[in-house]
């Protein structure tokens, strides 16, 4: 579950002359970790925003498990997004940040507690559940954001430069952790970054994007082989 088909996907914002994405074709397999690499403005965020419904397609189609996203309301698409700026709620505890979506969906207290406990354990956040985000380091905040995405048990994770605000060493650790997490969750991941090292560390396959078009697709060794 969680395979994605991009079928000649194009997006042009009304205010712009040029396309943010142009004829993007890709088949993402169940459970695959795809890293999309490209410079700022190459269309990476647009790609994720089309899937989660923040933006609408200009032409083409995106299928998740064979179903067009245009037939599904964004909240029924079974995807979870993780952002660069964490987007945590500052006045809520870590526990309540992780639980936030489940509370809105009126899941039972018991289920909420089980899922928060499960995610906190996997991400080593157990001792921080009662504190507010401002007491946490950048790396810890990003773990909370990951936990909040995980408790939805989505079949597809969308990650938009989740590590860009972290220093280089932490980024390296976290990218290996996200890879492990991906293996533990058996979910599909679409991860965008401008950082080639991150892509090499994590990806099953890398997609190089430039000015809205795919330049190259392949495994890390195919893409970054020595000449």
Nearest distance from C-beta of residue 43 to ligand ADP, angstroms: 4
Nearest distance from C-beta of residue 14 to ligand ADP, angstroms: 8
Residues 10/23, Cβ–Cβ less than 8 Å: yes
Question: Burial, 103: exposed, middle or buried (Cβ in 10 Å; 0-12, 13-18, 19+)?
Answer: exposed
Residue 15 vs 108, nearer CB to ligand ADP: 15
Residues in contact with ligand ADP by CB under 6 A are: 13, 15-16, 20, 38, 40-46, 93, 95-96, 113, 129-130
User: Taking the CB of residue 108, how many other CB atoms lie within 10 A of it?
Assistant: 9
Residue 86 vs 95, nearer CB to ligand ADP: 95
Residue 40 vs 225, nearer CB to ligand ADP: 40
Residues 91/80, Cβ–Cβ less than 8 Å: no
Residue 5 vs 93, nearer CB to ligand ADP: 93
Residue 121 vs 130, nearer CB to ligand ADP: 130
Nearest distance from C-beta of residue 108 to ligand ADP, angstroms: 11
* Spatial distance between the Cα atoms of 127 and 140, rounded to a whole number of angstroms: 11
Nearest distance from C-beta of residue 151 to ligand ADP, angstroms: 13
Could you tell me which of 172, 101, 176, 177 has the C-alpha nearest to residue 143?
177
Give the three-state DSSP class for 24: strand
Which residue matches tokens 């040029």?
18
Q: Containing H/E element for 37?
A: strand 33-37
Nearest distance from C-beta of residue 201 to ligand ADP, angstroms: 20
């Amino acid at each position: 579950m969680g395979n994605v088909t991009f079928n000649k996907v194009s997006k042009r914002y009304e205010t712009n002359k040029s396309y943010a994405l142009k004829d993007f074709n890709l088949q993402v397999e169940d459970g695959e970790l795809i890293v999309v690499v490209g410079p700022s403005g190459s269309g990476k965020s647009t790609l994720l925003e089309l899937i989660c419904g923040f933006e609408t397609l200009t032409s083409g189609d995106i299928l998740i498990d064979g179903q067009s996203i245009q037939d599904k309301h964004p909240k029924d698409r079974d995807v979870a997004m993780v952002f660069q700026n964490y987007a945590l709620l500052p006045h809520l505890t870590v526990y309540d940040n992780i639980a936030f979506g489940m509370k809105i969906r009126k899941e039972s207290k018991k289920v909420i507690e089980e899922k928060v406990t499960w995610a906190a354990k996997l991400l080593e956040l157990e001792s921080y559940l009662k504190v507010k985000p401002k007491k946490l380091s950048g790396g810890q905040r990003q773990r909370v954001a990951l936990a909040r995405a995980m408790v939805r048990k989505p079949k597809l994770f969308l990650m938009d430069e989740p590590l860009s605000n972290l220093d280089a060493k932490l980024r390296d650790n976290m990218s290996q952790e996200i890879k492990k997490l991906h293996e533990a969750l058996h979910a599909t991941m679409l991860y965008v970054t401008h950082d080639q090292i991150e892509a090499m560390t994590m990806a099953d396959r890398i997609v190089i994007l430039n000015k809205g078009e795919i330049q190259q697709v392949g495994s890390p060794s195919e893409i970054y082989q020595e000449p």
